[in-house]
Structure 1
Amino acid sequence: MNQLNEKLDYITRYINHKLADQNGTGLSVAIVKGSDIIYSRGFGYSQVQPMNQPMDGDTKMSIQSISKNFMALSIMQLVEENLVSLDDPVVQYLSYFRTKNKQQSDRITIRHLLSHTAGFPSELGIANMTAPNVRDIFSDTPTEFQEALDHYDLTEEEIDSVKTREDVTRWFQKVELEHPVGQGWNYCTDAYVILADLFEKVTGEEWESHLEDKILSPLHMYRTTSDSKNVEEDANSARYYLGEEKVETPFPKNALSAPIGYLYSTANDLGRYVAFHLSKESDVLRTDLIEEMQQPVHLVSEEWRFGSEVRSYGLAWFTDTYRGLRIVEHGGGQMAVRSLMTMVPELDLGIVVLLNFDGTTHHDVCDKIIDTFLDS
């Protein structure tokens, strides 16, 4: 126990030192061993207006693309119930799904969507541009919003016409695939809205209701939600600060596109979630399906490898190696939101790091935690 306490004290000192120059922002961390959270702390501040508010392990924060893992888990629950198969074509459930080349897109399966191997381009933008405060996000200059539309080849009328997840799926008819189905990898965040549409058509149930009843409640994740208003009104919730001037950014919210990156959680709740995936001890999903999510499907594209030769993507999990150990992880980020959840199965170790400022501190802290448990 003394050795463990020494490790955790060292980690605390490291993070305090790391955050010494982050005046006005904060970080929350949870460390998991097996099925237990052994460390939970907040550092710095979750909000600085109207006064500094300390961060802790229960601070509600945007988790951005970690949200995709919850969408994927929901689909895997349908697989367990024999309602869908991963290799079923999407059109089997969504007859209106197609891209410019229908013959190609008819071959796209649920597995392709989950693993980003459908052939979609990565820079589509439709899911994020439907955010209710998108014009605030792109407001630094009078022309920034129009520049964003031009970048994604979208029109204002086009994004205003998208009201449902089915609308997003139907929008894909304008998409031209960048590579043959299943033969390449592009991180297409928008594809996870199609998965939500498919989930809702198969079950007749709103995805958020299922998420609450079949994932969050069983895992005791009581401070995880898709409700942005709930989070904004919570006294212990974060705001996000960009750059050295710590400019507060528009609050990240987009109910329509919740499955791609608009869930909110805490370090402690995500610690419970990581413990579930690490220990595989739960009725939430069968063990073999948990393991299948963590198996690599395809090597990621060059810009996502970060120098690794083996970095791959499974079903809403990145897989890689670090100092010879297998890593299973997913992160997220947008305008001063940074999130990371990482598992090191050989060490029975899980790590969650959430920030409310930009940069790579979440990766630095995660690596230092792994180093500390490895070098013992």
Structure 2
Amino acid sequence: MKKQAWEATFEDFAQNVFTGSRAPGLIVGLNKDGESLYRKSFGYRNAEQRLELTPDTIMGLASVTKSFTCMAIMQLQEAGKLSVHDPVITYLPELRTPDRAKTEQMTIHHFMTHSAGFPPLPVDALAVNSSMREVLSDENHPIYRFLKKEDVKPVDTFADYLDAFNKQEYELLGAPGQYFSYSNDSYSLLGGIIHRVSGKPYDVYVKDHILDPAGMSSSTFYLSDLPKFPDVTTIYHYRENNGEQELYPDPDWEDGLVVAASGLLNSTLRDMLNYAEIFRTGGLVGKERILSEESVKEMMRPHIRCSYHSYYGYGLEIQPDFFGQTLVGHGGAIKGVAAQLTILPECGITAVGLANLVGTPVEGVVTAAINTLAGRPADASAETYSEEYPVPVEKLGRYVGRFISGEGADLSVILEEGALHLVQNESIDGIGNKEKYSLQPIGEDYFWVNFAGREFSVGFIHDEDGEVKAISFGFRIIPKANK
């Protein structure tokens, strides 16, 4: 069949992006009004054996899983078993934070919208088997900045998780609802709430109430299931070799059911386009109702600002003005996984992109497919700025500093020749490139950065005295390090 013009334009763009990404394999698919519109794979699910990627290749979803977690909460609310406005201590009375009064104010809604006030913390790493082994084998691992060695223990149960969480030493970012800061811990705790309220472990609940009714027969939380399927990706990761970052096939998938609710579902392009129907139709997959229309609207409602141009709903990011339409979606990134789910409800478009290497720009590839289908340039951005935002040089100095998170991120903001730059000293996966990235002012305390091929906004948070206390980077509020 002859390609349409938009397909050729998209594939030229996507091939260039894919080649530059070093990813072994990437696949993208679009549906229109629930019907297959386009499927395209680049590279391989196994580069060594040259095995192709297909719509039925099982791949990781990482944080795209968070929308499933919120869907489970909304189902339980519909069943009258909880309310999103209930205090979390109703269901997690053992929960401890540095501020008891604020703990009592935290609601399920705050957890769902990453607004409870938690900074990035290292607890999830203790519950992911492969991460835990890395921590125990490396005495210089960044996690030891935040945990005492005697507290670094495997987390095998939810009780273990709560115990480890309660031992953290940190300051809350603010009052519940005040700030958005992406929190895997909030979602792992939601998984515990789902278990206690439903009587089923989180993974079992999601299978029974979402995966099976939606016909997602190739989706699973269990690595033990993978050998049963004929079409499963190999995941790839980086390791240092003579000062260079070497790509290699890594058999060690991230695994840890205790934190499954924050990002450990595995699925396929076909299954995920089935799942996307829930958001396109207002709760239906075929004739099967998974969620009420009102609950779907609440999930897609822009509850809190999470970047300069976008908002967060329940397990979903919302861009209210994507070339005149609402764009809803979520990305995911863990070892061996880059994932993107995108829905344009008003025009019936659903799209999914999956890759087998973390850091692959699947969101950009999916957006390029949507752009070219609509007749726009592949790299067209809806995030535009009418004019430059002037900031006097003498005021730029207040943003200078080093910012370190409990997840391992380590950033510096420096002032050189009258301009601000961002330097990645170390990343969440332990890799730092030391490159400088220019910060372009776009608004009060907001800057725009092209960071390793991705463009996004960066913000700064002040304390009561007007001093910068944190940077908002990658959806996380990262505290300023003490001098």
- Provide the TM-score with structure 1 as the length reference: 0.88
1:326 aligns with 2:338: no
Residue number in structure 1 paired with 2:182 = 187
Partner letter of residue 270 of structure 1? M
Is the CA contact (8 Å cut-off) linking 1:166 and 1:197 kept in structure 2?
Answer: no
CA RMSD for the aligned pairs? 2.5
Q: Aligned with 2:105: secondary structure?
A: coil
In 2, distance between residues paired with 1:372 and 1:74?
34
Partner letter of residue 348 of structure 2? D
Residue number in structure 1 paired with 2:359 = 359
Displacement of 1:20 in angstroms is 4.3
In 2, distance between residues paired with 1:325 and 1:172?
40
Residue number in structure 1 paired with 2:26 = 27
Q: Higher RCO, 1 or 2 (CA under 8 Å, sep at least 6)?
A: 1
Q: Aligned with 1:221: secondary structure?
A: coil
Partner letter of residue 296 of structure 1? P
Cα pair distance change 1:208/1:13, threshold 3 Å? same
Residue number in structure 2 paired with 1:241 = 236
- Counterpart of 1:113 (choices 107, 111, 114) is 111
Residue number in structure 2 paired with 1:344 = 344
Paired residues for 1:53-72 under 5 Å? 53-72=51-70
In 2, distance between residues paired with 1:220 and 1:174?
41
Is the CA contact (8 Å cut-off) linking 2:61 and 2:266 kept in structure 1?
Answer: yes
- Counterpart of 1:291 (choices 290, 297, 300) is 297
In 1, distance between residues paired with 2:367 and 2:185?
29
Partner letter of residue 201 of structure 2? E
Is the CA contact (8 Å cut-off) linking 1:338 and 1:362 kept in structure 2?
Answer: yes
Residue number in structure 1 paired with 2:256 = 254
Residue number in structure 2 paired with 1:150 = 144
Q: Aligned with 1:78: secondary structure?
A: helix
Displacement of 1:319 in angstroms is 1.1
Is the CA contact (8 Å cut-off) linking 2:27 and 2:353 kept in structure 1?
Answer: yes
Paired residues for 1:132-281 under 5 Å? 132-137=129-134, 143=138, 146-153=140-147, 155=149, 157-160=151-154, 162-175=155-168, 176-231=171-226, 234-242=229-237, 245-249=246-250, 250-281=252-283
- Counterpart of 2:122 (choices 99, 120, 125) is 125
Displacement of 1:129 in angstroms is 2.5
Is the CA contact (8 Å cut-off) linking 2:335 and 2:358 kept in structure 1?
Answer: yes
Partner letter of residue 273 of structure 1? Y
Cα pair distance change 1:107/1:158, threshold 3 Å? same
Is the CA contact (8 Å cut-off) linking 1:332 and 1:338 kept in structure 2?
Answer: yes
Q: Aligned with 2:30: secondary structure?
A: strand
Is the CA contact (8 Å cut-off) linking 1:32 and 1:38 kept in structure 2?
Answer: yes
Name the stretch that deviates more: 13-22 or 345-354.
13-22
Residue number in structure 2 paired with 1:77 = 75
In 2, distance between residues paired with 1:114 and 1:22?
32
Cα pair distance change 1:38/1:132, threshold 3 Å? same
Is the CA contact (8 Å cut-off) linking 1:24 and 1:45 kept in structure 2?
Answer: no
Is the CA contact (8 Å cut-off) linking 2:253 and 2:336 kept in structure 1?
Answer: no
Name the stretch that deviates more: 263-272 or 362-371.
362-371
Cα pair distance change 1:16/1:246, threshold 3 Å? same
Cα pair distance change 1:232/1:155, threshold 3 Å? farther
Q: Aligned with 2:318: secondary structure?
A: strand
Is the CA contact (8 Å cut-off) linking 1:24 and 1:48 kept in structure 2?
Answer: no
Is the CA contact (8 Å cut-off) linking 2:327 and 2:345 kept in structure 1?
Answer: yes
Displacement of 1:240 in angstroms is 2.2
Name the stretch that deviates more: 357-366 or 105-114.
357-366
Is the CA contact (8 Å cut-off) linking 1:239 and 1:251 kept in structure 2?
Answer: no
Partner letter of residue 216 of structure 1? L
In 2, distance between residues paired with 1:60 and 1:169?
31
**Structure with the larger strand share:** 2
Is the CA contact (8 Å cut-off) linking 2:30 and 2:351 kept in structure 1?
Answer: yes
Name the stretch that deviates more: 230-239 or 212-221.
230-239
Is the CA contact (8 Å cut-off) linking 2:331 and 2:363 kept in structure 1?
Answer: no
Partner letter of residue 92 of structure 1? T
Displacement of 1:6 in angstroms is 4.4
Larger radius of gyration: 2
In structure 1, the gaps of 5 or more residues are none
Is the CA contact (8 Å cut-off) linking 2:336 and 2:356 kept in structure 1?
Answer: yes
Cα pair distance change 1:209/1:336, threshold 3 Å? closer
Residue number in structure 1 paired with 2:47 = 48
Is the CA contact (8 Å cut-off) linking 1:190 and 1:260 kept in structure 2?
Answer: yes
CA deviations over 1:215-269 (Å, ceiling 9, x no partner) = 0111111111100122256431112223574222332222221111111011111
Cα pair distance change 1:325/1:293, threshold 3 Å? same
Is the CA contact (8 Å cut-off) linking 1:341 and 1:351 kept in structure 2?
Answer: yes
Cα pair distance change 1:17/1:100, threshold 3 Å? closer
In 2, distance between residues paired with 1:169 and 1:5?
54
Is the CA contact (8 Å cut-off) linking 1:98 and 1:106 kept in structure 2?
Answer: no
Residue number in structure 1 paired with 2:444 = none
Is the CA contact (8 Å cut-off) linking 1:166 and 1:194 kept in structure 2?
Answer: no
Name the stretch that deviates more: 6-15 or 322-331.
6-15
**Structure with the larger helix share:** 1
Name the stretch that deviates more: 318-327 or 338-347.
318-327
CA deviations over 1:19-65 (Å, ceiling 9, x no partner) = 3466771112121212223223332111134x221111111111100
Q: Aligned with 1:159: secondary structure?
A: coil
Name the % identity: 25
Name the count of aligned residue pairs: 362
